[in-house]
Structure 1
Amino acid sequence: MRALLQRVLEAKVVVDAETTGEIQKGILVFLGIGKDDNLENGKKLIDKILKYRLFDDEQGKMGWNISQANGGILLVSQFTLMAQTQKGLRPDFGSAMPPTDAKVLYEQLVEYAQSQFENVQTGIFAADMKVHLVNDGPVTFNLEIE
């Protein structure tokens, strides 16, 4: 499982001209689910995201997590994060979980994230999403859980 975290000043997801999720200051999380992933490692990743310190504290260092920074999380499914890109000129998505199974796991992870943190917004799984963001920094991290 992979998560690409972007610290943002604002972000939103639009599907068919309708905003499905929107945050101000916080973390935009693109989440890729692999075929061997499960709820247990997904919960570990969500926990790590919630504790990950990528916001400036009083000393101007990345010392605060999302809760301490009073931010929000926008959680967006992104199967393309699972692409194998080492060979050739076309991405190989063989390591991504099949969509039917990935949707179930993604929804379980959204539910878990919302049970752990009050300000979690989402996109729509497998929709043609338009993601708008103002990257803060830019600050971007790639997290993986196996």
Structure 2
Amino acid sequence: MKAVIQRVREASVSVDGKVVGEIGEGLLVLAGIARDDTEATLRSVASKIVNLRIFEDEEGRMNRSLLEICGQLLVVSQFTLMADCRRGRRPSFTDAAPPEVAAGLFERFVEILREHPCKVETGVFQAMMEVRLNNWGPVTIILDSADLLAPRRGKPEPSEFDKTS
């Protein structure tokens, strides 16, 4: 799963000229569902989103989470986040979950976010949408579940060549 998170003063999503979701201060989340995403993936990304300390405290430091400021979420499905542009000029979307799988996983992701005490609005899955936002900062974070679930990069173990006798 990949998610682009933008801190916003307000945001909305429309389908066919009609607003289907809108929020005040909070986060706009563009979410791409991968072929290999699981419940654990969805929970990990959801937890990271609501707990990221990217809202300012009284000293102007990014020290508060969405939950701490009682912010709102607008979650929009966006399979194009799964684009692989390594070869040629046309992106490949083979890493994206097929629509019939992605729809259920996206809905589950939204359900998990709704377990938290914040307003959660969404777009319409597979619809052509118009997203409007008033960026706040701007603050934009890109999350990739492959990075979240991977072991931390730290100091590597010494190789046998690094050891002294």
TM class by shorter chain equals over 0.9
The offset of 1:139, in angstroms, is: 0.7
SS at match of 2:73: strand
Aligned residue in 2 for 1:143 = 143
Counterpart residue number, 2:109: 109
Structure 2 residue aligned with 1:71: 71
Q: Distance in 1 between matches of 2:77 and 2:117?
A: 18
- Deviation of residue 86 (structure 1)? 2.1
Aligned to 2:160: none
8 Å CA contact 2:6–2:141 kept in 1: the answer is yes
Using the size of structure 2 for normalisation, the TM-score is 0.85
Aligned residues: 146
Using CA pairs under 8 Å that are at least 6 residues apart, name the structure with larger relative contact order, 1 or 2: 1
SS across alignment from 2:35: coil
Secondary structure of the corresponding residue to residue 48 of structure 1: helix
Q: Any residues of structure 2 matched to 1:39-118 within 5 Å, and which?
A: 39-118=39-118
Distance apart, 1:87 and its partner CA: 2.3
CA distance in 2, matches of 1:126, 1:145: 22
Equivalent residues of 2:8, 2:135 under 8 A apart = yes
Report the aligned-residue RMSD: 1.0
On the 8 A contact 2:70/2:118 being kept in 1, the answer is no
Unpaired runs of 5+ in structure 2? 147-165
Percent identity over paired residues: 44
Match for 2:129: what amino acid? M
CA distance in 2, matches of 1:117, 1:92: 37
Taking the aligned partners of 1:86 and 1:94, their CA distance within structure 2 comes to 12
User: Normalising by the residue count of structure 1, what TM-score does the alignment of the two structures yield?
Assistant: 0.96
Gaps in structure 1 of 5+ consecutive residues = none
CA shift digits 1:18-58 (9 cap, x unpaired):
11110011100000111011121111100110100111111
